Amino acid sequence: MSKIVLIDYGMGNLNSVKKKLDRLKTDSLITRDEKEILEADKLIIVGVGHFAKAMKNIEDLNLIDVLNEVVLIKKKPILGICLGMQLMATHSEEGDYSGLNWIEAEVKRIQVNDPIKFKVPHTGWNEIIQKKQSSLMNDIPNNAEFYFVHAYYFEPKNPDYVLNETDYAFNFTSAVEKENIFGVQYHPEKSHDVGEVLLNNFISI
């Protein structure tokens, strides 16, 4: 059975993701220990909060080198959820701070012309548009609904990495895939059955 490590950098709803993984009978662990991270078969990086604070926590905990080794050198699968996906970008407008730069991308504030119709943060259920085939999307229909909570969005430089898009005042990237690196802007752990299917797909990769 795959061992999945959830990276504990002091931010994020780790326990709710862990409970979902437990329900799927998966061996998972919340940790920031370098040895445990290196021994993982797969990683999940979850996040809720401010981009710059999250990156500073990762830096202060000396996690960047071990994460780069596991993800970029050992090529182990990693799933970023919400802020966890955004941290994979080159840079964010939120705090004007550099990210992990695993995917060349900019994280930008959601701008809307009609703030009455389109509230920011974007909160609630919304459809995904699948842009390409992926093992992460197995048995998930196009236009499936997932749960979102975010005020910033991920804009990759290379459109080939776009896995899903979502329409909220404009079409934004709601999931990405680059080799072993996966990211979703939505919260599979809050998305009921379809979220469980996605997490199970990641476990099976």
Active site residues: 82, 187, 189
Q: What is the helix (H) or strand (E) element at residue 76, kind and residue range? A: none
E strands in the chain: 3-7, 27-31, 42-47, 78-82, 91-92, 97-98, 105-109, 122-127, 129-130, 145-150, 152-156, 162-167, 171-178, 181-184
Q: Tell me 184's DSSP state.
A: E
By residue count, the chain amounts to 205
91 conformational bin, left if phi > 0, alpha if psi -120 to 50, beta if neither: beta
| Diameter over CA atoms, the chain | 49
Of 205, 40, 65, which is closest to residue 136 (Cα–Cα)?
205
